[in-house]
Amino acid sequence: MKEDRVTRKQFAALILVSQLSPLLRLLPQTAVSFSGRAAWLSAVPALLPAALLRLGMESWRRYMRPGEGMGGLLLRWLGPVAGRAVLALYALWFLVYGGFILRSGAERLVSTIYPSSGQGMFAAVTIALCLVVALGPLRAAARTAVIMRTVLLAALGAVLILSVPNMDAKRLLPIGWREAASALPGALPLASVCGVGGCFVFLSGYAEEPKNARWFLGHILLLLALGGAICAAVVSVFGSALAATLTYPFFIMIRSISLGDLVPRIEAVVIAVWVGADFMLCSMLLRCAHEAIRAIFRLPDPDELPMTSLGGGRFLLWLEAAAVFAASLFFEKPPWELRLWSDRYIPLASDCVLYGGFLLLWLVTIPRRKKEKSKG
């Protein structure tokens, strides 16, 4: 079906860049409020659920027909009615989540950098750019993600290195059994961040077949190491008690970095990280929603039509972008309430839909999988 497929490396970059959005939104404040000074260890227990989710996703992949994707698989396994209902639910979630990403990204940018500006304009410009990405072929987005991954990881790495003079390792210690145990609840936000990668199973039909199921392990380890490093850096700079009370501790840490008199402030770097990651995640959620809707209406592959074409159901992408923008208006809430959505409701809903939903689907489809296995 797709001759010029997204390579596994590009696909991994696409997932990683998108996951940086919830990573930077949730960390370190949620992990620190759950785990205190042991937040930097939360990455260890988060590895298990993250790896299991991805392993489950990869196991599904084996049952997909060439170029089929998750949508087609669910329709085949659950039947046209139940399959369509499940796909509609997932599409709805992707659109709502995309709306939330738009709004929370705009709020963060406005409250930290442009206090006199409106959030609506940021949201409108971002969704317009996301629509351009979603209209284009996925491989173009994936190639962009490879470049963005390098830039974003370099920026984050530079920030962590430049923060070293302000760090005090004593703030990370001592870690006894009690503190080690308290790292467990801090794993929840990290596992939630990793769970966002689950959305990409809807796009896996566009990607190359993996040689084995272990390809994603390095990518998960990198993401968790990054999460652990961000928590460690912030806790060692502010202490866990202060980090838990600050609004955006990672950003405040970056605001204090200067390269002597040459570059007194480098906040622009983190803005690039925030905006880039939010933009990529929102674009991909738009695309995932379209994949689910495409399967429901059995529409052709959007990558096989010109970018400007509205045929083959591509006009739906415009409507989906409008729906994401409309969803972002729903999240037009006071900052304290948006924070509550950001830290609690959205991660919880995301975990239910991705971890819970996939687990349920996995259980429901056991007989079907056994049947397909016996067929060979």
Partner 1 sequence: MKRLLFILYVLLPAAFLSGCGASLAADRHDVERLLLIQTMGLDSRGDGVEMSVSTGLGAEDAPALVMSAPASGIEDAIARLQNYSPENQLFYAHVQYLLLGEEAARRELGHVIEWVDRSPTLRMDTNMLVVRGSARDAVVDTSEQSTDITQRLESMDRQARSTGWTVYTLREIAAALAEGNGALCLTIGTAPTDGNVFTEEMGSDAVVPVGYAMLGQEGLVDFLSPEESLGAEIITGDPTGLLITVAGSTLEILDCSVSVVPRFAPDGQPSGAHIRCTLQAGMLEKARDGAMNPEEMDAALSRTVSRWVSDALARSQAAGCDCLGIRDAVLTSSRDMALWEERWPELFPGLSLSAAVEGQVDRSYDLAQ
H-run or E-run covering 14: helix 8-26
Identified binder of partner 1 from the candidate list 63, 114, 215, 341, rule CB under 8 A: 114
Closest CA to 321 of 122, 107, 124, 88: 124
SS3 call for 349: helix
Question: Should residue 247 be labelled a site residue for partner 1 when binding is judged by CB under 8 A?
Answer: yes
Radius of gyration, alpha carbons of the chain? 21
Structure tokens at 74: 């669910």
What is d(CA 40, CA 47) in angstroms, rounded to the nearest whole number?
13
What's the closest the beta carbon of residue 121 comes to partner 1, in angstroms? Answer: 6
Contact mark string toward partner 1, 50..69, x via CB under 8 A: --------------------
Asked if 87 contacts 75 with a C-beta cutoff of 8 angstroms, the reply is: yes
Asked if 204 contacts 57 with a C-beta cutoff of 8 angstroms, the reply is: yes
Question: Should residue 256 be labelled a site residue for partner 1 when binding is judged by CB under 8 A?
Answer: yes
Question: Should residue 340 be labelled a site residue for partner 1 when binding is judged by CB under 8 A?
Answer: no
For partner 1, which is the closer residue by CB, 135 or 327?
Answer: 135
Asked if 236 contacts 229 with a C-beta cutoff of 8 angstroms, the reply is: no
What is d(CA 350, CA 160) in angstroms, rounded to the nearest whole number?
28
Question: Should residue 245 be labelled a site residue for partner 1 when binding is judged by CB under 8 A?
Answer: yes
Question: Should residue 129 be labelled a site residue for partner 1 when binding is judged by CB under 8 A?
Answer: yes
What is d(CA 231, CA 281) in angstroms, rounded to the nearest whole number?
22
Question: Should residue 111 be labelled a site residue for partner 1 when binding is judged by CB under 8 A?
Answer: yes
Question: Should residue 180 be labelled a site residue for partner 1 when binding is judged by CB under 8 A?
Answer: no
For partner 1, which is the closer residue by CB, 132 or 319?
Answer: 132
Structure tokens at 215: 């390809």
For partner 1, which is the closer residue by CB, 120 or 210?
Answer: 120
For partner 1, which is the closer residue by CB, 239 or 357?
Answer: 239
H-run or E-run covering 47: helix 43-61
DSSP state at residue 117: S
Question: Should residue 237 be labelled a site residue for partner 1 when binding is judged by CB under 8 A?
Answer: yes
Interface with partner 1 by CB under 8 A: which range of 15-23, 60-68, 170-178, 319-327? 170-178
For partner 1, which is the closer residue by CB, 114 or 215?
Answer: 114
Question: Should residue 265 be labelled a site residue for partner 1 when binding is judged by CB under 8 A?
Answer: yes
Task: Give the footprint of partner 1 on this chain (CB under 8 A).
Answer: 111-117, 121, 125, 128-129, 132, 166, 170-171, 173-174, 176, 178, 237-242, 245-247, 252, 255-256, 264-265, 307-308
